[in-house]
Amino acid sequence: MDSIYQALSEIEKNNESAALCTVVKSEGSTPRHVGSKMLVYPDGKFIGTVGGGDLEHRVLDEAWIAMGDGESRLITYRMSDPSRGDPGVCGGTVEVFVEPILPPAMIVVIGAGHVGKAVVHLAKWLGFRVAVSDDRPEFCTPEAVPGADAYYPVAMENLSEQLKINKRTYIIITSRGSNVDQEGLPSLLESKAGYIGVIGSRRRWLTTVKALKEKGIPEDKIARVHSPMGLELNAETPEEIAVSIMAEVLMLKDKGTGKPMKGKQAEAGGSGQ
């Protein structure tokens, strides 16, 4: 059991993913007692056991699904009749709680100008891990942009070679122009990023889209991009624009609607939040 807790500490330290599976109820004859644990890694390796055999294989499947969708689940298994689909013949019932262990979502700010700095500050305050990237090394330092967790002074098109991007990665592009976006977006569109937003006017984005299509980028990949990004707040200052951008990220991340809470309260009969 100590090795599982040590592994959990390493997972948290390294911002990695796993799923912790725990037997929370055991009635009758079952392979393992309450409190038995198994820690499952994304590559299929695991530490500990919740019973072995078909039961364990089923829990492993649930663990991988949980790491994918980020949802905990409580599964009940009856151990009496394999012909009915039960994972054993012990005669008892076991409940296993599967809990995904996921790193904090990461905001990646590409372009360390005034808006980029404001997004870094706000995203960090909101509890995200934050990375900054800019192809101008002097703009991509802790002195120039304080508070980020990591700095990548590379061209946008090379960022995915140095940073692991997954669906819990939210990419905020506050670059200095469409020409930069045209070169950098193709590689990012091949990633599994949960969000890709590009700052700028609609005209700037249309210019970028035209160039991407000329490069052969499919429309369905281009459609992944949110541009102009953010919610409509009539924002003007860098700080206001950062609020608009992060509001959209939170809305999509947490499956919100973006509608005013006043209308939602009225629909619910005036109840509070």
pLDDT at 37: 92
CA-nearest of 162, 169, 126 to 15 is 169
pLDDT at 123: 97
CATH fit for domain 106-253, picks 3.40.50.720, 3.30.420.40, 2.30.30.40, 3.40.50.1100: 3.40.50.720
pLDDT at 85: 43
The span from the CA of 246 to the CA of 238, in Å, is 12
CB of 93 within 8 A of CB of 25?
Answer: yes
Q: Where are the domains of the chain?
A: 2-101, 106-253
pLDDT at 180: 94
pLDDT at 86: 42
CA distances from 160 to 164, 205, 229 (A): 7, 22, 21
Mean pLDDT by 10 residues, the chain (273 residues): 86 89 80 84 90 82 91 81 47 86 92 96 96 95 95 95 90 94 95 94 95 95 96 95 97 91 62 51
- DSSP string for the chain: -HHHHHHHHHHHHTT--EEEEEEEEEESS-SS-TT-EEEE-TTS-EEE-SS-HHHHHHHHHHHHHHHHH---EEEEEE-S-GGGT-S-SSS-EEEEEEEEE-PPPEEEEE--SHHHHHHHHHHHHTT-EEEEE-SSGGGSSTTTSTT-SEEE-S-GGGHHHHS---TTEEEEE--S-HHHHHHHHHHHHTS--SEEEE-S-HHHHHHHHHHHHHTT--HHHHTTEESS-S--S---SHHHHHHHHHHHHHHHHTT-----HHHHHHHTTS---
pLDDT at 80: 52
pLDDT at 84: 47
